[in-house]
Amino acid sequence: MNLTAEYAVSARERFHRAARCLPVDRPPVWLMRQAGRALPEYRKLKETHTFVQLVQNPELAAEVTLQPVRRFGFDAAILFSDILVIPEALGQTYRFRETGGVVMDFAVTSKADIDRLSVERVVEKLSYVDQALRILRQELGGQIALLGFSGSPWTLATFMLEGASVPKYSRALQLFRADKPTYYALAEKLTAAVTEYLRMQIAAGVDALQIFDSHGGHLAPSEFQEASGRWIHDIIAALGAPSTRSASSSGAPVSDPARLAGTPVSDPARCSGTEAGVRASTCPAGAQTGELHRAGPEAGVPPIIVFSLGTHGNWPDLIATGADVIGIDWQTSLTEARKIVPAHLALQGNLSPALLAEATPEGVATETTKVLETLRGRPGHIFNLGHGLTPAAKLENIAALVHTVKGFR
């Protein structure tokens, strides 16, 4: 079959097909943090606007989102925003230091602080995101995929409890280990807020959503499901994933702590059905039959990508979230991921971001080809970095990456 001729589609359709593990002419390509610090166009805007001003002005946020698409021709545009818009909408304002890093107006340190956070007006307070997405949907003209996103409850909690960017995020871990009911109270509010925020983005017309669990790797593998994975699962369930609805069909809320006892998802047995000794009873319902695959765009629920950095011992937990696409970080072997993640789930990743700052264009092209070849023949590959683009990334290296992906057959 000549895929190039058979599937000569728009970038938007290419992205949708890859996210649903359908044949494509080549993998679609976009990069985490593609909009922002690496681009001279963005730095020019930063001469007259703060980061928060750019985020909160719909026209400017749309402009920054479009800049890398215009320059490099990515298959998808991801909204220029920040995961900390959720804490701000809950009542915990943030700002960025001139020297780098975030500062929040106060740190969440007690149950009383959590009680002060209000979910009631999150969508109203984040209406500027809705406006930016609607501008982008029109500007992209149905040809380029539009991605929205949010931070995971665990990752948001790590920032909120510290009150700032810090070298080591420890307070969320301390709270989770010492006072689970209080941590649950915060996670419940964050789960509700993120769910409403992502529903708003779906209504605005996004083609996919990514949940960033950037601090998932701070947890021990035995802690990940209870502190992070289950809350991501709840969000995806609430957005309408058939698999996660069935998982909670008993009537008990998915995030009921009692349901975790004695039923860990993170059993060492793999759920791919391809490894010796897999016990079906330890896998999420439907993981081996394909029932975890979510409905396509025609059902009104766009594909959901889960990217959890550093959680290499929690494949079953990530699979059990109900995600359509599992983001693979740069520290992980794609060969291993290909064996473990069920074939009905797409994989996203995973070139090292450091290469774009340190290598030559030729070196980037070589390493990009290695990633592409590793997943050759597996439907459902979305090319990306294994973490976000750094400010030091060279424009010629980004161009070489995109050119290599677009030329791959």
pLDDT given for residue 2 in this prediction: 42
Q: Is the pLDDT of residue 284 over 90?
A: no
Quickly tell me which residue has 């107006």 as its tokens: 105
The count of domains in the chain is 1
pLDDT given for residue 262 in this prediction: 30
Segment 40-44 shows an average pLDDT of 97
Q: What are phi and psi of 96, to 5 degrees?
A: -110, 135
Where residue 319 sits, what CATH number does that domain have?
A: 3.20.20.210
Q: Which residues contact 164 (CB under 8 A, 6 or more apart)?
A: 101, 102, 103, 104, 107
Contact 23, 3 (CB under 8 A): yes
Measured N-to-C along each axis, helices 180-203 and 153-162 cross at an angle, to the nearest 10 degrees, of: 120
Q: What's this model's pTM, rounded to 2 decimal places?
A: 0.85
- Give the residue among 272, 260, 277 at the shortest CA–CA distance from 319: 272
**Range in 186-195, 270-279, 316-325 with the lowest mean pLDDT:** 270-279
Q: Is the pLDDT of residue 245 over 60?
A: no
* Planar angle of CA 294, 300, 305, nearest 5 degrees: 45
Residue 228 lies in domain: 3-406
Q: Which residues contact 50 (CB under 8 A, 6 or more apart)?
A: 95, 96
Q: Is the pLDDT of residue 291 over 70?
A: no
pLDDT given for residue 294 in this prediction: 43
Q: Is the pLDDT of residue 319 over 60?
A: yes
pLDDT given for residue 9 in this prediction: 84
Contact 176, 216 (CB under 8 A): no
Segment 168-195 shows an average pLDDT of 96
Q: Is the pLDDT of residue 4 over 70?
A: no
Q: Is the pLDDT of residue 278 over 60?
A: no
Segment 330-356 shows an average pLDDT of 96
- If pLDDT is split at 50, 70 and 90, which confidence band does 8 have? low
Segment 109-118 shows an average pLDDT of 94
Quickly tell me which residue has 């589609």 as its tokens: 9
Cα distances from 81 to residues 9, 371, 409, in angstroms, run 29, 28, 33
Q: Is the pLDDT of residue 57 over 60?
A: yes
Alpha carbon dihedral 235, 57, 142, 398, in 10-degree steps, equals -90
Contact 195, 238 (CB under 8 A): yes
pLDDT given for residue 97 in this prediction: 76
pLDDT in tens, 202-228: 999 999 999 999 999 999 999 999 999
pLDDT given for residue 99 in this prediction: 66
Q: Is the pLDDT of residue 393 over 80?
A: yes
